[in-house]
Chain A
Amino acid sequence: MFFHISMEKNMQLHPRHFGPHLRDKLVAKLMKDVEGTCSGRHGFVVAITGVDDIGKGLIREGTGFVTFPVRYQCVVFRPFKGEILEAVVTMVNKMGFFAEAGPVQIFVSNHLIPDDMEFQTGDVPNYTTSDRSVRIQKDSEVRLKIIGTRVDATEIFCIGTIKDDFLGVINDPGAAA
């Protein structure tokens, strides 16, 4: 799920950037430092939408660097338990399949795939129902439910399930072929 939130960060700037474009430099550095990062509390910072306020700088003794408190608004993406997501399958193996929803990776274990779907090996590994009416393979779009999340420094990883009502394949690329 996406959120729009206000955040604050202390930015350190080298004195060589001081001058009429100090604000631009600070914003460019903020974008470079913050966008694409991931924190357990906020999730993925997708994009900065605006800078609300840049406070007074404070010289750090001994280094000459100046610390500016910057308050900014950004769009973040964070999955949470119980959320329903539409994701694209990226890899299928006998243990289950991996899918991607935005920057987030989701693993669906074979225990969390309906019992009537069986793993089929081959050039395009897939999970197929016995009557072959439903198939999950690479690039399939699935609707899944998040049941657990793990966050580390640079990515969010989730465990999902499609073993529930109204969950499963939305769009099967193999059906058209």
Chain B
Amino acid sequence: MSLTGKDVADRLEALHLPHNIRETMRSELSSVELSEEQLEAIVSQVEEDYRHSMVEPCEAVGVVAAQSIGEPGTQMTMRTFHYAGVAEINVTLGLPRLIEIVDARKIPSTPTMTIRLTEEYAHDRDLAREVAWAIESTSLLHLGSIATDLAEMNVIIELNPSAMEQRKITVEEVADSLREETGLAVDQKDGSLVMAPEEPSYRDLLQLVEKIKKISLKGVEGIKRVVIRKEGEEYILYTEGSSLRKVMEFEGVSPGRTKTNNINEIGEVLGIEAARNAIINEATDTLREQGLSVDVRHIMLVADIMTVDGEVKQIGRHGVSGEKASVLARAAFEVTVNHILDAAVRGDVDDLKGVTENVIVGQPIQLGTGDVKLVARR
């Protein structure tokens, strides 16, 4: 007597098992004939093994997670720069990157984005390049050269027509944005632009040159470079510099598949859950790149403690550790004296629930076997 596919599916549906296990059972069992006894045997064994694999209550998962991430840190390289994926773009990797993630820095030392394109743009090199030019922040140096004429006390900008063509920008547009940014008059003289500082002084002239060099004429500010790479079937854009909110709005960019390595930016644009996932992904990638295997569960716990409050908090004195409930735990971490003085003024009460506090007062900690409140009856 064999069961119908629906019976099996219903039975599996009722199980309290993680998604991936259920899915595996479904796909494995869909193609075979099996009896009720067999199904029951499988189900009970899978359930038993799953139960066996569960964490035990009172387990100090925090410490285990911290150690599992900290210990491989000793084996990581310090080499800050390396090329990940694309040879043209430098990315911070290894221990410095891991520290950066855990520090919840506002801006990472090498912000980059991986931009994937929508269906129609992704397979066409020219369209992809168009998006790239549109995103890349264009400065005058990309379009031509800047020269100073000390006799006339003015700045001459020679524009290269082919570069302008490539980046789809006209002389008028350049002149307009220069006018807007500097507030100075811009004269057009056959393909070149001429500007002069308000006061004809040598210093102002040089300052003006520096200033107009930095002006972003087109594209997203902060994105210094865009590199196109073909991966598999589709073209992917890698950028130096990051601006998720603006890039996501570009025509041709697939917002759901575009990411940045700036965790705080993700938190601001997409919300805290996205930031949590970003922490997990970034940390996992960093560790994997170094050839170190760390279970996701440990990284998840770190990501969760960093984001429980709804904002990305640093692991350390200005974040998680600095906001602990216990005065003694905070004092034992960093800035000892200030914590004690503040606690005195506030009249804080330390409930002695954490690890450090109990070690300090010399009693068993309330974790693991220390958390079992069983006393033998005499």
A binds B: no
